[in-house]
């Protein structure tokens, strides 16, 4: 990737994932002994922000952590990645939490508590300042959707490019569609959104191991490099962050590079930790071109 990196604001979720591995999932009322326990930062907003920052972009995050110990760790995760956290509030109560139990057959059960993410119900003056200073606003739908709509309308009015990854997928308000410049979806999300995606000028669809597709001023498909997939969790977030980070190079370069970034993430375990640096992604791209 060449062309200079844009300044990116991610407005979205940040969670602590609490992951327990166990031989078998407990039935209701049952207690089982687990094998191991790990905590890892997650949330689509944070994953995508970290992916964009690792790709070399200047990134600011807008969202909320709780006033618990996880909040301290989560905020540190952002700043350690070089992300500007001045618009991250600390809300009373718990941080966003995903309690994940995985058994030996890779079956899982997950409880998500939105916690602080659910308190991001309005835009502050600081948020507007950060957004107005950016080139791209990137959002998902793990915070209240009305806040995303307000942010997109404000960004749109200031000429800031709006990129929406509508996950978890849901009905999209007309105002959100109208203020979206680039829609980033996987195949399932695209199918659920259906013809409404036609109302957005540019749509990027990820196709898993097949790569990605772009529809806009031109239409094309790029294939993913062949890799040994270890864990595809977070591949979509790595793709979205890298797409924003490379967008100024034009859709063809950006979609190709984001596809390589998604594939790189699939070669590593975990979500935010699996995204690659710019050099790692370039290395995979160069190897695939040989
Ligand atoms: N098995 C794979 N081999 C190569 N690349 C992959 C593979 N799986 C995912 N990718 C890469 O990651 C990108 C995003 O994957 P996908 O389309 O599965 O998104 P997603 O469903 O949002 O992912 P997830 O929810 O697992 O994070 C793809 O466009 C591709 O570049």
Tokens of 286: 């160069």
| pLDDT score at 4 | 59
| pLDDT score at 132 | 97
Q: What are phi and psi of 97, to 5 degrees?
A: -130, 135
Residues 6+ apart with CB under 8 A from 286: none
Find out whether the beta carbon of 180 lies less than 6 Å from any atom of ligand 1: no
Q: Please report the atom of ligand 1 found closest to the CA of residue 226.
A: 4
| Nearest residue by C-alpha to atom 15 in ligand 1 | 208
Overall size of the chain counted in residues: 290
| pLDDT score at 34 | 97
Residues of the chain with pLDDT under 50: 2-3
| pLDDT score at 2 | 43
Do the Cβ atoms of 236 and 211 come closer than 8 Å? no
| Nearest residue by C-alpha to atom 22 in ligand 1 | 236
HSE toward the beta carbon, residue 28, CA cutoff 13 A:
0
Mean pLDDT over the full length of the chain: 95
Tokens of 223: 């294939």
pLDDT per residue over 37-76, tens digit each? 999 999 999 999 999 999 999 999 999 999 999 999 999 9
**Residues assigned a catalytic role:** 237
| Nearest residue by C-alpha to atom 7 in ligand 1 | 209
- Residue 197 DSSP code: G
Find out whether the beta carbon of 211 lies less than 6 Å from any atom of ligand 1: yes
Classified as helix, coil or strand, 225 is coil
| pLDDT score at 235 | 95
| pLDDT score at 231 | 84
The Cα–Cα gap between 10 and 12 comes to 6
What's the CA angle centered on 191, arms 186 and 192, to 5 degrees? 100
Find out whether the beta carbon of 60 lies less than 6 Å from any atom of ligand 1: no
| pLDDT score at 5 | 67
């Amino acid at each position: 990737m060449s062309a200079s990196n844009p300044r990116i604001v991610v407005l979205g979720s940040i969670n602590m994932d609490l992951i327990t591995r166990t031989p078998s999932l407990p039935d209701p009322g049952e207690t089982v002994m687990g094998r191991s326990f790990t905590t890892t930062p997650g949330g689509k907003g944070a994953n995508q922000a970290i992916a964009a920052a690792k790709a070399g972009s200047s990134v600011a995050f807008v969202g909320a952590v709780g006033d618990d110990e996880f909040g301290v760790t989560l905020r540190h995760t952002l700043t350690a990645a070089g992300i500007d956290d001045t618009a991250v509030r600390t809300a009373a109560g718990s941080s966003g939490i995903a309690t994940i139990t995985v058994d030996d057959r890779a079956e899982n059960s997950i409880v998500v508590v939105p916690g602080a993410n659910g308190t991001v119900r309005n835009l502050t003056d600081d948020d507007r300042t950060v957004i107005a200073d950016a080139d791209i606003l990137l959002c998902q739908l793990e915070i209240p959707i009305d806040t995303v709509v307000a942010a997109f309308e404000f960004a749109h009015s200031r000429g800031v490019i709006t990129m929406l990854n509508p996950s978890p997928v849901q009905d999209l308000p007309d105002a959100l569609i109208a203020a979206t410049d680039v829609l980033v979806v996987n195949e399932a999300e695209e199918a659920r959104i259906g013809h409404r995606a036609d109302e957005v000028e540019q749509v990027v669809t990820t196709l898993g191991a097949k790569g990605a597709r772009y529809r806009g001023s031109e239409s094309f498909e790029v294939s993913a490099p062949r890799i040994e997939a270890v864990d595809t969790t977070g591949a979509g977030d790595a793709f979205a962050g890298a797409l924003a980070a490379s967008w100024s190079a034009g859709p063809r370069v950006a979609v190709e590079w984001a596809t390589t970034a998604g594939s790189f993430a699939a070669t590593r375990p975990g979500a935010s930790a699996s995204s690659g640096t710019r050099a790692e992604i370039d290395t995979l791209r160069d190897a695939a071109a040989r």
